[in-house]
Amino acid sequence: MSTKNIRRVGIIFSGGPAPAANAVISAAAISFLEDGREVVGFFHGYSNLVDYHPVSRRLLPDQHYRIFKSRDIAGLRNERGICIGTARTNPGKGITSPKDLDDTEKTQRLRNVYNAFVDLEIDALISIGGDDTLKTANFLYEFQKRLPPEAPRVKVVHLPKTIDNDYRGIDFTFGFCIPNSVNTWEAIYDVPELPPELVEDMINNPWETQSDSFYYVINEEGIEEMVMHNKAKYAYSPPPQ
């Protein structure tokens, strides 16, 4: 896919929440910002886009979307939640076959989304979500194939997300592999009770703590710090200087 004409990129997170959502959003945003492109994050999935109208239902900055700056991304990957929110609004609901894409009534919500992107000068979309969001991304692509040749085109890239690992043809996604990975605390079901002295020692000497998983403790200042699980099989070594 040629990117030379992409100046403004939209990001949508749709469907249910998933671990590491902000890390994925920030990674996508950073890659475009560092390449000199503008990044727009749309609030609450497609919920504002499906009813878009250039006069009666306009989209307003900081109300319906945000224009990301580098300062917005700094540290975002370590924050919980979803910085642009999410929703289960499905612009492709009711479309069940290719012929439905020729039905102006069934594609009205898709057209609203497309019109919003064009009016906001969005050249490409990063779609993040589950299988319904994947279908929407595909419908948006197929919808544009039916437009007149001179109509603007919005390029679409979908980033799979699911906590159930139910994507056919994909080994795993970020929503699944993080909570079920052996490298995160959620996979540990028998976390031992640790005396305060040991917790403090683990914080002060993280590279000497044996572990195959991570979890968090609250230090004396009330700040979360990542430490290792001490019932581990191997030890980490500090990175080379």
Active-site residue set:
164
Angle at 71 (CA atoms; ends 40, 60), nearest 5 degrees: 35
CA distance 71 to 68: 8
Measure the CA–CA gap between 25 and 127, rounded to whole angstroms. 10
- Helix ranges (H only) for the chain are 21-33, 70-73, 108-119, 131-145, 174-180, 196-204
Q: Choose among 97, 160, 108: nearest CA to 134.
A: 160
